[in-house]
Structure 1
């Protein structure tokens, strides 16, 4: 039996002020966008804003539904918008943040497993890494160079016959 290890490195900015102007703007837009998320059940508002290679910005928020499985996360909402408006365009960076109702949002949030799989599929589709800025409404920001780091041993098209 052999043992293998998986690890990855990422950067942590202690505050939005440590980001360059483009990243700070992207994150600030995502933070403001949480206000329009539709989360009447969980009260957990999530927003994502992407900067595309062509300079366009695309936004997504979580959209809940009384039939819980019908809802969609902010990241997949964003990917659907990108895929529809800018098919196969490279996504350079996505800022993801959240704001729960009446609670602090001061630690970075990471995409759920389903969103990680969807983001990874988009990376593979355009053959380009997606850089992530993960944050709360305040506090530190995690900077991750590729979604691939978040889903080791991922299932992909190469597994299909």
Structure 2
């Protein structure tokens, strides 16, 4: 069963969570999304307190682009391999329509996130916000991706 914390606005969040959402929104501003005009930003707080931000990067060959969450996670893993992710905030924006509900990570991003949780043996808190101000928080990726495909499910 999906378990989410629901908030009517970011004002109900802790200072650190609110700041992470703001940084995700700032990252979305610089997204390269000329085809969809759907800009997504992600901000990850690592165990050390360091924050990594990234955004989606589209490509004319659609499957070649990457989502903000994966760009941020791969960057963090490559540059701070011993500093696991603790929390990720996700914020999307577009001028084409109103994003009513918080934008959850896509399936591919959830799979990369579950690998990070598994590899570090630590849940990753996910904070998501839409245009109406509402915030959804999941305390783990496993919650967003039940019956996930993981190395722990393989008998080696």
**Is TM more than 0.5 here?**
yes
Does residue 52 of the first structure (1) align with residue 59 of the second (2)?
no
Question: Any conservation in 2 of the 1:106–1:135 contact (CA below 8 Å)?
Answer: no
5 Å matches for 1:20-35?
20-35=14-29
TM-score normalized with structure 1 length: 0.91
- Partners of 2:37 and 2:2 lie apart in 1 by 32
Q: CA RMSD in A?
A: 1.2
Equivalent position of 1:10 in the other structure: 4
* Bigger Cα displacement from structure 2, 94-103 vs 17-26: 94-103
5 Å matches for 1:123-134?
123-134=117-128
* Structure of higher CA gyration radius: 1
Equivalent position of 1:156 in the other structure: 150
Residue 138 of structure 1 deviates from its aligned partner by 4.3
- Partners of 1:9 and 1:151 lie apart in 2 by 11
Does residue 40 of the first structure (1) align with residue 1 of the second (2)?
no
- Partners of 2:88 and 2:115 lie apart in 1 by 15
Equivalent position of 1:120 in the other structure: 114
Among residues 55, 60, 63, which one is paired with 1:69 in the alignment?
Answer: 63
Structure 2: segments with no counterpart, 5+ residues: none
Equivalent position of 1:4 in the other structure: none
- Partners of 2:55 and 2:39 lie apart in 1 by 8
Equivalent position of 1:96 in the other structure: 90
TM-score normalized with structure 2 length: 0.94
How big is each residue's C-alpha offset from its partner over 1:10-56, in whole Å with a ceiling of 9 and x where there is no partner?
Answer: 21110011111110011011112211000000110001000111010
